[in-house]
Amino acid sequence: MTIRYLNPVQEAAVKPASLAPRLPSLEGCRLGLLSNGKENADALLQMVAQEIKSKFSVKNVVSVTKFGAGMNCPPKFMEDLLSRCDAVITAVGD
């Protein structure tokens, strides 16, 4: 007896994305750090920032902590960050 069944699975709608445009140099840039709000993300980002600052003369660093590690960063929050930075690095800590 053949049974017909429907597939119960819904795959995620994958949105095509590409790498952010590269800056010619990090020299003099305004660097943003976006943490997901978990314990070690900030530590990881600070280490990366120190490494960058040791190699380039960074103009300033803007550190932002997203509240709610399981939630998307709200568009207004991202827009504000991007308006004040030339490059943003994000990290997922735990």
Partner 1 sequence: MTEFNLASEIGEAEDPIALQELFFEKGWTDGLPVVPPTPERVFEFLEASGSQPSDIIATIPTRNRVITAEKVAINCVMAGCLPGYMLVVIAVLQAMAEPYYVFHASITSTGGAAPFIVVNGPMRHDLKMNSGVNVFGPGNRANATIGRAVRLILINVAGAQPSVLDKSTQGHPGKYSFCMAEAEEVSPWEPLHVELGFDADVSTVTVFAAESPHGIQNHESGKPEELLTCIACEMASMGGFSLGQSGLVLSPEHANIIAKSGWSKRQVKEFLFEHATQTAADLKRLGKFGQKGSRIDSLKLISSFKRPNEDLHLKRLAELGGELKPEDETTLVSRGVVPEDILLVVAGGAAGGHSAFIPSWSRGRASLFQTKPIGVCLDCKPQDSDDLQTIGDIRP
Nearer to partner 1, 26 or 93 (CB): 93
Residue for token pair 């952010």: 20
Stretch touching partner 1 by CB under 8 A, among 21-29, 49-57, 69-77: 69-77
CA angle 70, 71, 75 (to 5 degrees): 155
- Do 93 and 35 contact (CB within 8 A), yes or no? yes
| Binding flags for partner 1, 5-44, as an x/- string (CB under 8 A) | xxxxxx-xxxx-----------------------x--x--
* CB neighbourhood size of 44 (10 A): 16
Q: Which residues bind partner 1 (CB under 8 A)?
A: 1-10, 12-15, 39, 42, 60-77, 80-81
